[in-house]
Amino acid sequence: MEQVLIIDDDMKLCELQTYFLVPEGFQADSVNDGEKGLERACSGNYSLIVLDVMLPGISGFEVLRYLCTKTNAPVIILTARGEEIDRIVGLEIGADDYLPKPFNPRELECF
């Protein structure tokens, strides 16, 4: 079973993503801040990481910078920061894709 890690401070959104991913054959874990997200991402064997930018503690961009050196798992940024410059920065740092909130949960199934 493919494992997905969701790093997002919005607990309801984590539940929604899990609700849609599990029936598609994924196991979904979630954490709600950047530091815990880094710990979990580096200690697990995840096939995909879904990362918010605006996190308590360290930002999602900082998490992404570190993850790019520690894991080969693809990272999708999913955030309310939908400005063009934020998308460019996220992709330049190493994100594999960037989805602005609000989003259709089925968009995640495409990855």
Domain with 71 in it: 2-109
Rounded to whole angstroms, how far apart are CA atoms 36 and 38?
Answer: 5
Instruction: Indicate the SS3 state at residue 22.
Output: helix
Q: What is the pLDDT of residues 54-80, one digit of tens each?
A: 999 899 999 999 999 989 999 999 888
- Asked if pLDDT for residue 104 goes beyond 80, the answer is no
Overall domain count for the chain: 1
Q: Where are the alpha helices (DSSP H) in 1-45?
A: 11-21, 34-43
Query: What is the average pLDDT across 13-18?
Result: 92
Domain with residue 9: its CATH number is: 3.40.50.2300
pLDDT-derived band at 101 (thresholds 50, 70, 90) equals: confident
Average pLDDT of every residue of the chain: 90
User: How far is Cα 54 from Cα 42, in angstroms, rounded to an integer?
Assistant: 20
Task: Tell me: pLDDT of 34 over 80.
Answer: yes
pTM of the model: 0.91
11 CB neighbour count, 10 Å cutoff: 10
> Taking phi first (over 0 means left), then psi (-120 to 50 degrees means alpha), and beta for anything else, what does residue 57 get?
left
